[in-house]
Amino acid sequence: MKAIRDLKIIKIDEIAKGIFSLVLERHLDFGALKPGQFFNLALKSRELPLLKRPISLSTWDDTTMTFVIRKVGKGTELLCAAQPGEWVSAVGPLGNGFDLEAPAAEATLLGGGIGTAPLLALAEMLSAAGTKVNVYLGYQNEPYLVENFKKVADGLFIATMEPVDGLYHGNVVEYWMAQEADETERHVYSCGPDAMLHMVQLSLKSRSQKGHLLTEERMACGIGACLTCAKPIERDGEVHMLRTCIEGPVFKAEEVVFECK
């Protein structure tokens, strides 16, 4: 149930350089939540920017919702500089999340950068449903949320693009492809930049494996009116421009049309 509510900041911490964990109170009017959904957030005391910022849910409980934010512009800078006790204006939940009505027996989760955050709730719910979950997380250099994933993952694999002692050095998708060379029974869920998701898609196609992708796209309104976030999606042999904020951000892996060079 989509709603607009002012939420108090419970806690905010910098969990890696430029990466912040923001814990907000959870309002009952938001109803049931699904992994992969997002909220439009803005600090109540702000003067600018005018538009709220779309931030994916990372995890939640009965009383709180946690968002992991990368500080990249004025809107996220204001959110990351906020203090406990301040208020955030929130619109949501928005978008279609992951469908977990019939969870697979085994699943692999692949996250890249800030795309690791929305996979945490997915890992928690799959694990609680009895799914065997392997998680692959890719970072530039400084991992975060690792301890959270350890609690629910049957296997946890971490890759960094810059050398870090004890961790795989390289691309997280290549790490996954080497570790799970031919496990077609696993359902794959992934979130990250388009170049990464395109690699995942190609690998899935080559081994006839099924998956879902949580896509990223620039947004303005976040409620389907402006069409800024339209993404090419192929269905029944035709390409349609579908709104990431309404029909997405989660799509079947084989549907997404990437324009990566």
pLDDT in tens, 64-99: 999 999 999 888 999 999 999 999 999 999 999 998
Do residues 205 and 256 lie in contact, with contact meaning Cβ atoms separated by under 8 Å? Answer: no
The model carries a pTM of 0.93
Do residues 76 and 124 lie in contact, with contact meaning Cβ atoms separated by under 8 Å? Answer: no
Check residue 184 and give its pLDDT.
74
75 is in an annotated binding site: yes
Check residue 135 and give its pLDDT.
98
260 is in an annotated binding site: no
Check residue 47 and give its pLDDT.
59
Check residue 50 and give its pLDDT.
66
Tell me the per-residue pLDDT of 222-239, one tens digit each, with 9 for 90 and over: 777 887 888 899 998 899
pLDDT of 107 over the 70 cut: yes
List where CATH 3.40.50.80 sits in the chain.
Answer: 106-255
26 is in an annotated binding site: no
Range 101-129 average pLDDT: 94
56 is in an annotated binding site: yes
106-255: CATH topology is: Rossmann fold (3.40.50)
Check residue 226 and give its pLDDT.
80
143 is in an annotated binding site: no
Range 127-133 average pLDDT: 96
What is the distance between the alpha carbons of residues 119 and 57, in angstroms, rounded to a whole number?
9
**What's phi and psi for 53, nearest 5 deg?**
-110, 130
Check residue 260 and give its pLDDT.
61
Nearest to 219, CA basis, from 208, 231, 206? 231
Range 189-218 average pLDDT: 93
226 is in an annotated binding site: yes
118 is in an annotated binding site: no
Check residue 125 and give its pLDDT.
96
- pLDDT mean across residues, the chain: 92
Check residue 49 and give its pLDDT.
63
Range 17-46 average pLDDT: 93
Amino acid at 124: E
Residue 250 pLDDT grade (very low, low, confident, very high; cuts 50, 70, 90): very high
3-94: CATH topology is: Elongation Factor Tu (Ef-tu); domain 3 (2.40.30)
List where CATH 2.40.30.10 sits in the chain.
Answer: 3-94
Percent with pLDDT over 90 in the chain:
77
pLDDT of 134 over the 70 cut: yes
55 is in an annotated binding site: yes
Range 105-130 average pLDDT: 96
- 161 compared with 229, residue with greater pLDDT: 161
69 is in an annotated binding site: yes
Range 207-212 average pLDDT: 92
80 is in an annotated binding site: no
35 is in an annotated binding site: no
54 is in an annotated binding site: yes
pLDDT of 209 over the 80 cut: yes
Nearest to 110, CA basis, from 75, 132, 80, 134? 134
243 is in an annotated binding site: no
Collect all residues with Cβ–Cβ distance below 8 Å to 230 and sequence separation of at least 6. Answer: 217, 241, 242, 243, 244
